[in-house]
Amino acid sequence: MPDFELSEDYQDLVDMVRDFADTVVAPVSAQHDEEHSFPYKVVAQMGEMGLFGLPFPEEYGGMGGDYFALALALEQLARVDQSVAITLEAGVSLGAMPVYRFGTEEQKQQWLPMLASGEALAGFGLTESEAGSDAGGTRTKAYRDNGEWVINGSKQFITNSGTDITRLVTVTAVTGTSEVPDGQGGTRVKKQISTIMVPTDTPGFTAEKAYNKVGWNASDTHPLTLENVRVPEANLLGAEGRGYANFLQILDEGRIAIAALATGAAQGCVEESLRYAREREQFGAAIGTNQAISFKIARMQTRAHTARLAYYDAAARMLAGKPFKTQAAMAKLVAGEAAMDNARDATQIFGGYGFINEYRVARHYRDSKILEVGEGTTEVQLMLIARELGL
């Protein structure tokens, strides 16, 4: 029979991050959410704990762990604060992981130690106004000039792109075109999309005013403008023309991380609802004694448990070197919906208090919606799953 019990090392990590989340992250979560302020002190402590380096080898300043370790940490953080969790998720899976997966040895040595330590953050500039789910619609362009890439374009919804410790944003850009078969005996022009690393102090790179978001208020998110940005040709990340394909791999991995984050959010709603149901009295008894409430929480726990099994399975396949694209899509789908459904139910259990932002369930209600949108919408996950079924 499969064994879903965590090893001692994994369990120790879970216990450590859970304690940190409860004692350090949670007490300041409401304040950062209200102020829309980035939690620099919390992030610094996460760096000291090694969380940003969890899946990277020690030779690059990492902890020598794996992607599942990162997912476990994200689940525990997201129970109490999704903004903090997404800062870690994006910093590792979108910021540092592309450098580790596709960078040259020189690029890894230059960037990974500072990113793995949490002293610096990186972002990934993929999304544009015409290129979201259809990243092939990228309009940002780059061309060579005297040993440099000259980049012009704009990006939207880029996480970790404008903090005081952001040092790098890797952007996708059209670097050429090619003719490919159109399936009807002719050819069509296809964009060649590449990824290029842009240090944030490069002239012409601008992180515009931060978005005023519905949720994830303590997470840093900006639109970006690149106007005649010039970086060395050596800043090409991976092979030229392979940027889009490489990023699809990063997204597949990232969906496991987002699923873990969403599972944490779903579990956090369960824990808050249990506490409240035991404490809150109406008509002379704790509301948890009412079957309507207890059944609701039972369904919430089932959703969180199912989401956890889904991301455990996807992560296990990934670490074993087996195909995991479909399993990652299913995990992201199930966990995102579990987070949103549990947040709705938790808010209902809390009644009027569930509509007050100082309560964690209210923040989960606002935060969780993006889990059905970011890093691949629910509809994209369904498309990927249906495609695997031959539809």
- For each of the domains in the chain, give its residue range(s) and CATH number, in order of start: 8-120 (1.10.540.10), 122-241 (2.40.110.10), 245-388 (1.20.140.10)
Banded model confidence at residue 158, pLDDT cuts 50, 70, 90: very high
Q: 375 an active-site residue?
A: yes
The pLDDT of residue 367 is 97
For residue 138, the number of C-alpha atoms closer than 13 Å in the C-beta half-sphere is 27
Banded model confidence at residue 208, pLDDT cuts 50, 70, 90: very high
Banded model confidence at residue 108, pLDDT cuts 50, 70, 90: very high
The pLDDT of residue 2 is 58
The CA dihedral of 333, 334, 335, 336, to the nearest 10 degrees, is 50
Give 113 or 249, the one with higher predicted confidence.
113
Q: Please tell me whether the overall predicted TM-score, pTM, comes out greater than 0.75 for this model.
A: yes
The pLDDT of residue 3 is 66
Mean pLDDT of 185-204: 89
Banded model confidence at residue 5, pLDDT cuts 50, 70, 90: confident
The pLDDT of residue 183 is 74
Q: Give residues with Cβ within 8 angstroms of 263, minimum separation 6.
A: 75, 78, 304, 307, 308, 311, 335, 338, 339
The pLDDT of residue 281 is 82
Average per-residue pLDDT for the chain: 94
The pLDDT of residue 179 is 72
With beta carbons less than 8 A apart as the criterion, state whether 269 and 342 touch.
Answer: yes
Mean pLDDT of 266-295: 93
With beta carbons less than 8 A apart as the criterion, state whether 141 and 201 touch.
Answer: no
Residue 250 buriedness (CB in 10 A; 0-12 / 13-18 / 19+): buried
Banded model confidence at residue 129, pLDDT cuts 50, 70, 90: confident
The catalytically annotated residue of 105, 375, 379, 388 is 375
